[in-house]
Amino acid sequence: MATGFATNEFTFTTAYPKVPKQEFPTFKFLTYGDMDTNSDSRQTLSLIERLLRDDKDIRFVIHQGDIPYAWRYALLTQLTCSESKWDQWGVMAEAVTANIPYMTTVGNHESDNNFISYRTRFTNTTGINSKNSREGNLYYSFNYGGYV
């Protein structure tokens, strides 16, 4: 990677097999979007870490796009895309992303160069479209127990 930073690769599986909905335990999940790599972002991650530590019913996180704002940064600096912002976000978020299922969606800030930075970092293997299609792994679904 451009800056010499690289995060480790992590995988996960959901916690429960398919069971009838009436037998499925209560669960919670966190969802948010628009992150960046600034001090507000670090505060958000600290809050998420605390929530995950304090509430064991939270089973996964969904990040709703606009992950590191690399696209905006690239426009301001005249770069095509800022790989260093992606790397910086990966290092910053690893304490969360390495310890709980962390699903991502794309936002407009991931669209630079046909989403190449996003596609390089996130592999949604349950994708509706194959990686060889135009959409690649941008669209997917997943089940959690008996729920979609």
- Written as one string, the DSSP assignment of 24-49 is SPP-EEEEE----SSHHHHHHHHHHH
Q: CB neighbours (10 Å) of residue 59?
A: 19
Cα separation, 124 vs 131, whole angstroms:
9
Retrieve residue 102's tokens: 């962390």
pLDDT band at 2 (very low <50, low <70, confident <90, very high): very low
Greatest mean pLDDT range, 84-98, 108-122, 128-142: 84-98
For residue 93, the enclosing domain spans 28-121
Give the global pTM.
0.78
pLDDT 10s digits, 51-96: 999 999 998 999 999 898 876 555 555 555 578 888 889 999 999 9
Domain annotation covers residue 58: yes
Helix (H), strand (E) at residue 62: strand 58-64
pLDDT of residue 1: 37
> Residue 130 pLDDT > 60, yes or no?
no
pLDDT (average), residues 42-58: 95
Residue 45 placed within a domain: yes
pLDDT above 90 for 14: no
Stretch 88-117: mean pLDDT: 87
**Angle, helices 70-77/83-97, rounded to nearest 10 degrees:** 160
Higher-confidence residue of 119 and 127: namely 119
| Residue 94 within any structural domain of the chain | yes
130 within some domain:
no
Note whether 92 and 41 are within 8 A (CB).
Answer: yes
The total domain count for the chain is 1
Higher pLDDT, 143 or 74: 143
Report the percent of the chain where pLDDT is more than 90: 27
Say how far apart CA 76 and CA 83 lie, in whole Å.
14
Domain assignment present for residue 92? The answer is yes
Asked if residue 134 has pLDDT above 70, the reply is: no
In what helix (H) or strand (E) does residue 96 lie, and over which residues does it extend?
A: helix 83-97
pLDDT value at residue 10: 75
